[in-house]
Amino acid sequence: MDEALREKLVDWIGPLVGGEVTSLERSQARREGFYVDVLGASGEQRAFFLRLGRPGDPANDPRTTAFEADVNRTLRALGVRVAEVFGTKPDCHAALYERVRGRSDLERVGAAGQQAIYRDYLTQLAHLHGLDPDRIRIDGLSRPKTAEDCALVELAKVEADFAPLICEPLATFGLQWLRRHVPRTVDRIAFVHGDAGTPNFMFENEAVSALIDWEWAHFGDPMEDLGNAAIHASFHLSGEWPELLDHYAKVSGMPVDLERVAYYRAHLMVRSVLALAAATTRWDPHTPVALNLCFRVVSDRICCDAIAAAMGIELERPELPDGPEAPTTLYGVVAENLRSEVRPAVEDAFAANRLDAAVLLVQALERVHRLGPALEQIELDELSKLLGDRPMDLASGLARLDRELPRLRSRTRGRSPPLPRPSRVADRTALRARREPVSGLRAASAGPRALIAWRMSDRSCSRSPSTRR
């Protein structure tokens, strides 16, 4: 944050909360935020959290900052445990929240504590899912009408935001897989978190203090939140899931559909693959590059696992090739200098976090230097089996694979059993219209249009991608 923006925010926050800003410290999370300390008019210490948007930064989109503030205000008024919003400053893309008491590192809690905390969390989710949708009015949100809409409308928004920025075959395959396996039923249309699970809630004394990080919230199938929470358990230990799902069913009054839960496990990971691929297409030194790269690798792996699990497929675990051993490299020298000589002298928490990330990047470069050529040959061998010939290099091979997947789907759809031509459908519905005036008239107007939409080969083609809120 530059000094001019800092001064502007301090001048806004002080009068807003009735005190003097004494500290503005950057948090270490991937999305940009700041811990704000304020000395109140009566001498009391008050704690806040400032969320900041950055135009042009997909991870810190100003529209998301404004949207989250709107969600928190709305849900807090309906009794959901969320942080209080004290104000927003649109010209700075900023929102000021109370700093919620508690922590989010559930994996550091013992097994019994994890179970108790997560039971309370699922109770809070059940309360969220039980809210009357008519009472939730948030700009930019529409309510789906079908199970297909629940699965695909938000997916189209994420795709519109991120797909143009990347060339990622896993994302292409994942999007197509989600469209081919859309759930056919939904028990209840509810307001869902969209990224539920650890660490997107705070807890204290074995109880949830607040649900946080609402950037992907929308109306949809409650099974989406259960699937998201279950996939987050791959990253963070979160208790015994059979008992937890039984608990959710009891407190929500709604059965848990394990097939839909499995689908939405994959759904979140495909969205994550898209978002993280976009976040790692350019190297912005002011973003957490190392953390994004780590999350991208893990998300890619878990995305494959989630799709395979939903299909009942067992995946093999490839071995890393043996690379040439080097007792000391220049990469190793730089990493060791940073870790043992520079790091002890750094006192600022955010700067220390950035320095640790720099060490990770140097270590990653060393592994790329040592193992990269062998890994590329292995991947070229595997691509040649799929493409029929060996690409010149990995980048062109992946780009070609990304182009071939839609062509395969198009050919598959093109070989689907043909339906009558639209003119014949129109003739038949017109004939029915003479026999059944009201219902036939509706059919005559809808028949050809529906057929044309079917001819567009994939469900995604019949829906215009909307812009993200």
pLDDT in tens, 212-222: 999 999 999 99
For the entire predicted model, the pTM comes to: 0.78
> Are residues 50 and 137 located together in one domain of the fold?
no
Categorize the per-residue pLDDT at 194 as very low, low, confident or very high, splitting at 50, 70 and 90: very high
The mean per-residue pLDDT over the stretch 44-51 comes to 96
Same domain, 85 and 114: no
pLDDT at 401: 84
Residues 147 and 241 reside in one and the same domain: yes
Closest of 151, 162, 233 to residue 198, by C-alpha:
233
The residue with greater pLDDT, 440 or 14, is 14
Q: Is 292 among the domain residues?
A: yes
For residue 164, pLDDT over 50 is answered with: yes
Give the residue from 84, 66, 25, 17 showing the smallest Cα distance to 46.
Answer: 17
Kindly tell me if the per-residue pLDDT of 240 is higher than 70: yes
pLDDT of residue 442: 29
What pLDDT does residue 342 have?
Answer: 93
> What is the residue-wise DSSP string for 281-316?
SS--TTS-HHHHHHHHHHHHHHHHHHHHHHHT-PPP
CA torsion 290-291-295-296 (nearest 10°) is: -40
DSSP string, 3-31: HHHHHHHHHHHHHHHTEEEEEEEE--SSS
Same domain, 296 and 278: yes
Q: Identify the CATH number of the domain in which residue 67 sits.
A: 3.30.200.20
Domain of residue 223, CATH code: 3.90.1200.10
> How much is the mean pLDDT over the chain?
84
CB 321 within 8 A of CB 375: yes
For residue 386 the two structure tokens come to: 């799929």
Name which of 91-100, 126-135, 184-193, 284-293 the model is least confident about.
284-293
Alpha-carbon distance of 67 to 256, in angstroms, equals: 29
Q: Which residues pair with 211 in a beta bridge?
A: 201
Q: Are residues 110 and 202 in the same domain?
A: yes
Assign 288 a pLDDT band (cuts: 50, 70, 90): confident
- In this predicted structure, what is the pLDDT of residue 326? 58
HSE (side-chain half, CA atoms, 13 Å) at 430: 7
Q: Is the pLDDT of residue 28 over 90?
A: no
Q: What is the pLDDT of residues 414-448, one digit of tens each?
A: 665 554 444 444 344 333 333 333 322 222 233 32
Same domain, residue pair 259 and 235: yes
pLDDT for 399 equals: 86
Furthest CA-CA distance within the chain = 89
Q: How far is the C-alpha of 279 from the C-alpha of 288, rounded, in Å?
A: 10
pLDDT exceeds 50 at position 127:
yes
Tens-place pLDDT, residues 266-280: 999 999 999 888 888
Does a structural domain hold residue 170? yes
Say what the pLDDT of residue 175 is. Answer: 94
**Whole-angstrom distance, CA of residue 209 vs CA of residue 467:** 33
CA dihedral for 282, 283, 287, 291, sign (positive or negative): positive
105: Cβ–Cβ under 8 A, 6 or more apart, which residues?
A: 199
In a domain, 448, yes or no: yes
Based on the fold, state whether residues 167 and 253 are members of the same structural domain. yes
Residues 221 and 262 in one domain: yes
Pair of tokens at residue 54 = 């950055």
Q: Residue 223, SS3? A: helix
Identify whether residues 265 and 365 lie together within a single domain: no
For residues 151 and 121, membership in a common domain is answered with yes
> Quick one: 89 and 115 in the same domain?
no
Report pLDDT for 413.
57
Note the pLDDT of residue 377.
87
Q: Classify residue 468: in a domain, yes or no.
A: no
Tell me the mean pLDDT in the region 447-451: 28
CA–CA separation, 155 vs 313, rounded Å?
Answer: 24
State the pLDDT at residue 327.
59
Q: Is residue 125 part of a domain?
A: yes
- How many other CB atoms sit within 10 Å of the CB of residue 420? 12
The last residue of a domain, from among 98, 125, 150: 98
Query: Which carries the bigger pLDDT value, residue 293 or residue 36?
Result: 36
Burial class (CB in 10 A: 0-12, 13-18, 19+), 292: buried
**DSSP H or E stretch at residue 190:** strand 190-192
For residue 462, pLDDT over 70 is answered with no
The pLDDT-based confidence of 370 (bands split at 50, 70, 90) is confident
For residue 464, the surrounding DSSP H or E stretch is: none
Does residue 199 have a cis peptide bond before it, meaning omega lies within 30 degrees of 0? Answer: yes
Owner of token pair 């529209």:
63
Q: How far apart (Å, rounded) are the C-alpha atoms in residues 285 and 195?
A: 26
Domain boundary among 248, 275, 309: 309
pLDDT of residue 57: 76
In a domain, 451, yes or no: yes
Does the residue 325 lie in any domain?
Answer: no
Over residues 294-343, the pLDDT tens digits come to 888 889 999 999 999 999 988 888 877 765 565 568 888 898 899 999 99
Q: How many domains does the chain have?
A: 4
Per-residue pLDDT averaged across 391-410, rounded?
81
Summarize the confidence of residues 214-240 as an average pLDDT. 91
Q: Where a domain ends, among 48, 65, 98?
A: 98
Distance of CA 339 to the CA centre of its chain: 32
Task: Select the highest-mean-pLDDT range: 30-34, 48-52, 62-66, 350-354.
Answer: 48-52
Q: Do the domain assignments include residue 324?
A: no
- Which of 176, 159, 65, 178 is closest to 467 using CA atoms? 159
pLDDT surpasses 60 at 464: no
Range of the domain at 452: 422-462
- Same domain for 137 and 253? yes
